[in-house]
Structure 1
């Protein structure tokens, strides 16, 4: 059964704010609130895949300490810009 778009967005928002480290909770929660509703299906799938990554890796990617994997590059750049606003 396919997940309805509004249910998927709610799930992704919840997963964004219930991470492992507080910094990623704050960063991803803010990003999710501002951006998920406007994303297309492919964007939501990429974001969902990103949420399966380790918080320590995500934090290093968002803060520019380590380069993000190519498949997440544009999304990480967007998250980092949202966080800096």
Structure 2
């Protein structure tokens, strides 16, 4: 986070990054998760979420699918929320 960045601008930036991960699947998953949770996150959770966005997409996708488990550094509340998140396709 930049020193001059407001919390609301940071949320907007993280939401944008979430919706533009690279693959459509991860865009939908991470973008929907961000829409559902970023507004409730405090500074520490935003820090953890931002770090999570820096993890390569295939790694996070494997966590979501249960193929691998997150390492200790990512075994925290935000990752647990992501893994428990139930994505619902628009219109369903």
TM (normalized to structure 2)? 0.83
Structure 1 residue aligned with 2:84: 81
Deviation at 1:84, TM superposition (A): 5.0
In the comparison of the two structures, how many residue pairs are matched? 85
Structure 1's consecutive aligned runs of 4 or more residues displaced over 6 angstroms after TM superposition are none
Cα RMSD for the two superposed structures: 1.4
Unaligned runs of 5+ in 2: none
Higher helix share: 1
Give secondary structure in 2 for the equivalent of 1:83. Answer: coil
- Provide the C-alpha distance between the structure 2 equivalents of 1:12 and 1:30, rounded to a whole number of angstroms: 12
Q: Is the 8 A contact 2:29 2:87 kept in 1?
A: no
Higher-Rg member (1/2): 2
Of 7, 30, 39, which aligns to 1:37?
39
Unaligned runs of 5+ in 1: none
Structure 2 residue aligned with 1:54: 56
Higher RCO (Cα < 8 Å, 6 or more apart): 1
- Provide the C-alpha distance between the structure 2 equivalents of 1:43 and 1:21, rounded to a whole number of angstroms: 24
